[in-house]
Structure 1
């Protein structure tokens, strides 16, 4: 059980309190935060390729990139890569395909457009996109603000 700081109005101080999974608990203290929600089957029993696959890749030139942090964990999680990226307004990534790894992209702030398997999808804050290996994708920023997102890339087992 996680301990979280709670404001004690009587003493005007913060005190630790056991987290029971309520809305005040941090992410790591909530049991519901660890549940994976799978896509529901459509009337045809098949989910379209682009429904849960949006986009991710890095800008092709350094001029389009403001900040980029990569975390690789050699020896711990073989082949796993975590990237935090900030793309400038107007930046674009050409359409490409990753044949040997799947990609998850989580948008933190800003907006962008992803082209996944020929379909155009707009993403904004709190959107999570999965791109399986072999699906062509490309992307560019939308609007006049930076697009901030994280990318988790893992090889196919």
Structure 2
């Protein structure tokens, strides 16, 4: 994964695209300490997996502090956002699941 090229996502977060096939998108988001992905909605269900570091994932009105190896699910159409904790990088795998 670390050998794939990085780019800035449309929301300004450094990312790697791991897979984009048949409606399934898998991204690796690489947050700098304290970096924020503002609340937004997607038309797909999304699963977040914390690869490294600690941060906060907000789904609707629920805010969860997360750390390495934790999973969080976000239903389609529900606002969600992420924030890296201060002092460390926060790496998250993001699965955007195909809609049926």
Taking structure 1 as the reference length, the TM-score comes to: 0.54
State the shift of 1:83 in Å: 0.8
Which fold has the larger relative contact order, with Cα–Cα distance below 8 Å and residues 6 or more apart in sequence? 2
Confirm whether residue 97 of structure 1 aligns to residue 41 of structure 2: yes
The number of residues matched between the two structures is: 92
Q: Which has the higher helix share?
A: 1
CA distance in 2, matches of 1:109, 1:146: 7
1:129 is aligned to 2:72: yes
Q: Unaligned 5+ residue runs, structure 1?
A: 1-57
Query: Partners of 2:75 and 2:10 in 1: how far apart?
Result: 19
TM, length-normalised to structure 2: 0.81
**Cα separation, 2, equivalents of 1:144 and 1:111:** 10
Distance in 2 (CA, whole Å) between partners of 1:146 and 1:59 is 20
Aligned pairs for 1:6-155 (under 5 A) are 60-61=11-12, 64-65=13-14, 68-74=15-21, 78-98=22-42, 100-155=43-98
Structure label with greater radius of gyration: 1
Query: Which structure has more strand as a fraction of its residues?
Result: 2
Distance between the aligned counterparts of 1:85 and 1:114, measured in 2? 13
Cα distance in 2 between the residues matched to 1:59 and 1:144: 24
Deviation per CA, 1:66-125: give whole Å up to 9, x if none. Answer: xx2113344xxx111111121101110111111x21111110110111121112110100
Determine if contact 1:109/1:148 at 8 Å carries over to the other structure. Answer: yes
